[in-house]
A and B are shown apart, each in its own frame.
Chain A
Amino acid sequence: MTDMQQMTMIQAINSAMDVMMERDPTVVVMGEDVGFFGGVFRATAGLQDKYGKNRVFDTPITECGIIGVAVGMGAYGLRPVPEIQFADYIYPALDQLVSEAARLRYRSAGEFTAPMTVRSPFGGGIFGGQTHSQSPEGIFTHCSGIKTVIPSTPYDAKGLLIAAIEDNDPTLFFEPKRIYNGPFDGHYDTPAKSWAGHPDAQVPTGYYRIPLGTARIVRPGEALTILCYGTMVHVVEDTVKAMGIDADIVDLRSLIPLDIDTIEASVKKTGRCLIVHEATRTSGFGAELLAQVQERCFYHLEAPIERVTGFDTPYPHSLEWAYFPGPVRIREAIAKIMKD
Chain B
Amino acid sequence: MTDPHDIGAAQGEPGRNLPPLRLHVPEPPARPGESADFTHFDIPAADAAPRPDEAAQPATMRDMAYGLVRVLDEEGAAVGAWNPKLPPETLLRMLRAMALTRAFDARMFRAQRQGKTSFYMKSTGEEAVSIGAALALSRDDMCFPSYRQQGILIARDWPIIDMMNQIYSNKGDRLNGRQLPIMYSAREAGFFSISGNLTTQYPQAVGWAMASAARGDTRIAATWCGEGSTAEGDFHSACTFASVYRAPVILNVVNNQWAISSFSGFAGAESTTFAARAIGYGIAGLRVDGNDVLAVYAATRWAADRARANAGPTLIEHFTYRVEGHSTSDDPTAYRSAEESSLWPLGDPIARLKQHCIGLGIWDEERHAAMDKELAEYVRDAAREAEKNGILGHGLHHHPMESMFEDVFEEMPRHLKEQQQQMLDEWKAAGL
CA distance A64 to B205 in the complex (A): 13
Are A95 and B200 closer than 8 Å at their CB atoms? yes
Are B207 and A109 closer than 8 Å at their CB atoms? no
In the complex, whether B208 has a CB less than 8 A from a CB of chain A is: yes
A62-103 vs B, Cβ < 8 Å mask (1 yes, 0 no): 101101111111111110000000000000100110011000
CA distance A175 to B8 in the complex (A): 52
In the complex, whether A257 has a CB less than 8 A from a CB of chain B is: yes
In the complex, whether B183 has a CB less than 8 A from a CB of chain A is: yes
Q: Quick one: which of A252-279 are within 8 Å of B by CB?
A: 256-258, 260-261
Are A77 and B408 closer than 8 Å at their CB atoms? no
Given the interface pairs A64-B234, A100-B200, A112-B185, the reply to whether A105 lies near B408 with Cβ below 8 Å is yes
Which residue of chain A has the shortest Cβ distance to B213 in the bound complex? A54
In the complex, whether B290 has a CB less than 8 A from a CB of chain A is: no
Q: Which of B175, B241, B244 touches A107 (beta carbons < 8 Å)?
A: B175
Shortest Cβ distance from residue B195 to the other chain A in the assembled complex, whole angstroms: 6
Are A169 and B212 closer than 8 Å at their CB atoms? no
Taking CB atoms, residues of chain A closer than 8 Å to B195 are 99-100, 107
Are A65 and B176 closer than 8 Å at their CB atoms? no
Q: Which of B178, B210, B238 touches A106 (beta carbons < 8 Å)?
A: B178
In the complex, whether A55 has a CB less than 8 A from a CB of chain B is: yes
Shortest Cβ distance from residue A68 to the other chain B in the assembled complex, whole angstroms: 3
Given the interface pairs A72-B204, A100-B195, the reply to whether A105 lies near B415 with Cβ below 8 Å is no
CA distance A73 to B240 in the complex (A): 16
CA distance A254 to B162 in the complex (A): 40
A99-119 vs B, Cβ < 8 Å mask (1 yes, 0 no): 110001111111111000000
Q: Which of A73, A96, A104 touches B210 (beta carbons < 8 Å)?
A: A73
Shortest Cβ distance from residue B268 to the other chain A in the assembled complex, whole angstroms: 19
Q: Quick one: which of B130-157 are within 8 Å of A by CB?
A: 142, 144
In the complex, whether B407 has a CB less than 8 A from a CB of chain A is: yes
In the complex, whether B18 has a CB less than 8 A from a CB of chain A is: no
Taking CB atoms, residues of chain B closer than 8 Å to A73 are 207-208, 210-211
In the complex, whether B369 has a CB less than 8 A from a CB of chain A is: no
Of A77, A110, A112, A169, most buried by chain B (CB within 10 Å of CB) is A110
Are B241 and A169 closer than 8 Å at their CB atoms? no
In the complex, whether B413 has a CB less than 8 A from a CB of chain A is: yes
In the complex, whether A168 has a CB less than 8 A from a CB of chain B is: yes
Shortest Cβ distance from residue B338 to the other chain A in the assembled complex, whole angstroms: 36
Are A104 and B193 closer than 8 Å at their CB atoms? yes
In the complex, whether A59 has a CB less than 8 A from a CB of chain B is: yes
Given the interface pairs A107-B175, A260-B415, the reply to whether A72 lies near B205 with Cβ below 8 Å is yes
Q: Which of A64, A99, A106, A258 touches B237 (beta carbons < 8 Å)?
A: A64
In the complex, whether A129 has a CB less than 8 A from a CB of chain B is: no
CA distance A146 to B187 in the complex (A): 22
Shortest Cβ distance from residue A64 to the other chain B in the assembled complex, whole angstroms: 5
CA distance A72 to B192 in the complex (A): 10
Shortest Cβ distance from residue A147 to the other chain B in the assembled complex, whole angstroms: 8
CA distance A45 to B261 in the complex (A): 51
Are A110 and B238 closer than 8 Å at their CB atoms? no
Are B179 and A260 closer than 8 Å at their CB atoms? no
Closest 3 CB pairs of A and B: A72-B207, A68-B203, A65-B237
Interchain Cβ contacts under 8 Å between A and B, 12 examples: A54-B215, A60-B240, A68-B237, A75-B208, A96-B234, A108-B175, A108-B185, A109-B407, A111-B185, A111-B193, A167-B410, A213-B414
Residues of chain B having any CB pair with chain A under 8 Å = 142, 144, 174-176, 178-179, 183, 185-187, 192-193, 195, 197, 200, 202-212, 214-215, 221, 233-234, 236-238, 240-241, 244, 407-410, 413-415
